Structure 1
Amino acid sequence: MADLYGINKNDKGKNFFLDEGDFHSLKKKKASRLLQGGIVLGLFFFLILGETSCTTQPSPAVSLENPLQGSFTLKSAEAMTSGEALLIAGVFEISNTASQEIFVTESTVEITVEDRNHRVSTITVPLSPSGNPQALKAGASSLYPFSASVKVRDLTPDEGGNFLCHLTGRGLWESGKNSLSHPFKVSQAYSVKWLRAPELRILSLAVKQAELVNTRFRIRLSVYNPNGFPLTIFRMRYELFGNGRPWADGFMEKIYTVPSAQTTEVDVFVVMNFIDMGRDLFNQVLTMKDVSYRFAGTLQLATPLESQPPFSYAFNLEGFAPVER
């Protein structure tokens, strides 16, 4: 029976219960094994957590400041199509203040004209129709000229004939290919004069000197200035047709200043050479009481506005006028 439980016969009489010394020794061994297991388990969890934090935690976002600086230069604001639209022209300059090359894409200029009642008319002009990114080297600048016709037919200027013109440049910039795109925006406002073309009308035609070789005509024009500032005429090129036939052409260089919202009469003297035209026309001119005319040409005009350079205005007048002598 003793062998069944693995008890050696020679061990009979021995005490199989642990004494106090053996118990403390066994307790120390058990504590040592538990401590070693805890250290191994702690190292295991530390490695797992470290690997997880390296693979799942995103890197901190880097804040990028816009390296672009922009400015506008308004070149002109000229009335078009009988004052129904303003032709706004200018230059948008973009400068790269970064220490590296950047790329600019989808750049546009938004032109908004605002009237005295805060009504607006807006048009957007693309600056890079191809859509391809444009490289801008570090410290470099790029000029983007623009022009567009903005409808102002339903707008009312202020008492001085002014509109408020808002220019807004927009686009995207990126630091390199396949990098993130960042928006940029530049805005400036200008007060622009509503520059309308003068209104011309022929008052009369007069024969001042009747000779077969040269006959001198005087064309008296009425010039009305609809603007809130004076207009100066300093050059005129013209062609005169009478009853469907060419009579004369030439140019005049004489300064006429037309005050704001007033009318000035301008005399244009033309010379007809009947040697090349035929005597029948000479006889007709001497006896006619009125004439079907066409008077066409170009005026060179100037204003006192610093933002408005001298400009040209093409005219074409047709109608009937009395012939004075």
Structure 2
Amino acid sequence: MKPTALSQTFVSALAALWLGCASAPSKPSSPPTLALQEATVPSQNLTEATVSYAGQVVSPVPGVLEKADYELVSEGQVVKTGSAALNVPLTANQPTAFSFQERAPYVRGPEDLKALSDKGGTMLLALRGTLTVRSGQDVQTLPFAASRAVRVPRLPQVSIESLDAARYSNTEVNMTFRVGVKNPNPFPLRLDQVNYTLRVGGKQLGEGTLAKADTVDASATGVYPLEASVTSETWGPDVKALISKGVLPYTLQGELAGPLLKVPYSLDGNVKLNVSK
């Protein structure tokens, strides 16, 4: 019996369906997995940090790790979002390493910085999001998250490292201050400027800038000299009576400023005078 046109059409359709299934890429029997992941902080300063994420992906079939869509998180708050193109080839069932990093501020202003400094201890920085893996026409996403604890940034401190006063006569005293800016952080501290106003015996003796566009090394103290003369020209006609007391009371006030940083300071004390030279 000859096959009918209908039966021939049915057989052709089955053959086409079988050929299509045979040529289509096989769908992975299981999703890709993360074999390893970690976060590190390669650099940090007073207001921002770089967070690096590294991991290993294992895919059951060959493919490409295309990208990472991520959030950078500081103390539970998202401070930046982004997408990193990776385009890393994946070999079936072989751990494949990849990495990316992001830099962002973790404070919004001087108030946030002061609150962190007052809190002390450590803070948690993290990168989290999804990885996109493509195998043929199949696209899968893989969640990731890793964090790292770092020391909380601490505000710098201003102090008088040393003070010398030389009495040259009953109407002249020269004072030399060594003003210290202590950086308690494990990273360099950038200063825009440190300004000051000096008062001696209740009268303003001078004002100006101690430092400008400077950097204090990690866990170090920057020292800035300040010289002032107490004379009738700088202090007034009653300077002899002031100097005769043998002790000069002083007040040094000002503000230390840097990126998102404003630290007012006020230092006072008494300096004992030597005998006239």
TM-score if structure 1 supplies the norm length?
Answer: 0.46
Residue 234 of structure 2 corresponds to: 284
Query: How much has 1:126 moved relative to structure 2?
Result: 0.9
Residue 62 of structure 1 corresponds to: 26
1:245 aligns with 2:208: yes
Query: How much has 1:122 moved relative to structure 2?
Result: 2.9
Letter in 2 for 1:109: Y
Query: How much has 1:146 moved relative to structure 2?
Result: 0.8
Matches within 5 A, 1:206-245: 206-209=163-166, 215-219=175-179, 241-242=196-197, 243-245=206-208
Q: Name whichever structure is richer in strand by fraction.
A: 2
Identity of aligned residues (%): 7
Residue 48 of structure 1 corresponds to: 9
Query: Paired residues, what number?
Result: 232
Report the secondary structure of 1:52's partner residue. helix
Unaligned 5+ residue runs, structure 1? 1-38, 82-86, 115-119, 226-230, 257-265, 299-311
Query: How much has 1:167 moved relative to structure 2?
Result: 3.0
Query: How much has 1:195 moved relative to structure 2?
Result: 0.6
| Structure-2 separation of matches of 1:282 and 1:267 | 33
Cα distance change of structure 1 residues 75 and 50 upon mapping to structure 2, 3 Å threshold: same
1:102 aligns with 2:64: yes
Q: Choose 1 or 2 for highest CA Rg.
A: 1
Report the secondary structure of 2:11's partner residue. helix
Residue 182 of structure 1 corresponds to: 140
Matches within 5 A, 1:80-91: 87-91=48-52
Residue 5 of structure 1 corresponds to: none
Letter in 2 for 1:126: G
Structure with more contact order per residue of length (Cα contacts < 8 Å, sep ≥ 6): 2
Question: What is the RMSD of the two structures over their aligned residues, measured on CA atoms?
Answer: 5.7
Letter in 2 for 1:195: V
| Structure-1 separation of matches of 2:105 and 2:217 | 31
Letter in 1 for 2:234: Q
Letter in 2 for 1:111: L
Confirm or deny: 8 A CA contact 2:57 2:97 kept in the other structure.
yes
Matches within 5 A, 1:33-44: 39-40=1-2
TM-score if structure 2 supplies the norm length?
Answer: 0.52
Matches within 5 A, 1:253-292: 270=225, 272=227, 284=234, 289-291=249-251
| Structure-2 separation of matches of 1:251 and 1:285 | 34
Query: How much has 1:101 moved relative to structure 2?
Result: 7.0
Cα distance change of structure 1 residues 122 and 220 upon mapping to structure 2, 3 Å threshold: closer
Letter in 2 for 1:52: A
| Structure-1 separation of matches of 2:103 and 2:43 | 10
Query: How much has 1:168 moved relative to structure 2?
Result: 1.8
Cα distance change of structure 1 residues 73 and 149 upon mapping to structure 2, 3 Å threshold: same
| Structure-1 separation of matches of 2:232 and 2:83 | 58
Matches within 5 A, 1:89-238: 89-93=50-54, 102=64, 104-105=66-67, 107-113=68-74, 120-128=76-84, 135-137=87-89, 142-150=98-106, 161-163=121-123, 165-175=125-135, 179-190=137-148, 192-193=149-150, 195-198=152-155, 200=157, 202=159, 206-209=163-166, 215-219=175-179
Residue 324 of structure 1 corresponds to: 271
Cα distance change of structure 1 residues 54 and 97 upon mapping to structure 2, 3 Å threshold: same
Letter in 1 for 2:64: I
